[in-house]
Amino acid sequence: MTRGASIIAIQDVELAFGEKIVLSGLSLTIPAGEITCIIGLSGSGKSTTLRLINGLRMPQRGRVLVKGADLCKMSHRELIELRKSIGFAFQFAALFDSLTIGDNVAMPLRENTRMSEPEIQKTVRETLEMVGLADTLQRLPAELSGGMIKRAGFARAVVTKPEIVLFDEPTSGLDPIVTNVLTGTIKQINKALGATVVVVSHDMQSVYQMADRVALLFEGAIIAEGTVEEMRRSDNPIVQQFLQGRDQGPIPL
- Report yes or no on 249 lying in a domain: no
Answer whether residue 221 is part of any domain: yes
Q: Does some domain include residue 68?
A: no
Question: Do the domain assignments include residue 25?
Answer: no
- Mean pLDDT score, 61-84: 93
Q: Is residue 221 a contact partner of residue 212, using CB atoms and an 8 Å limit?
A: no
pTM of the predicted protein model: 0.93
Domain holding 136, by residue range, is: 33-54+85-244
Question: Do the domain assignments include residue 21?
Answer: no
pLDDT surpassing 80 at residue 93: no
161-183 pLDDT, tens digit each: 999 999 999 998 888 999 999 99
pLDDT at 214 over 90: yes
Does 109 fall in a domain?
Answer: yes
- Checking if the pLDDT of 112 tops 90, the result is no
Is 15 inside any structural domain? no
| Residue 2: pLDDT over 80 | no
Q: Indicate the number of domains in the chain.
A: 1
pLDDT at 138: 95
Confidence bin at 19 (pLDDT 50/70/90) = confident
Task: Decide if 211 contacts 36 (C-beta within 8 A).
Answer: yes
What's the CATH code of the domain at 126? 3.40.50.300
Query: Which band of pLDDT confidence, cut at 50, 70 and 90, is reported for residue 195?
Result: very high
| Cβ(154)–Cβ(186) below 8 Å | yes
Domain membership of residue 132 (yes or no) is yes
Whether 92 has a pLDDT exceeding 80, the answer reads: no
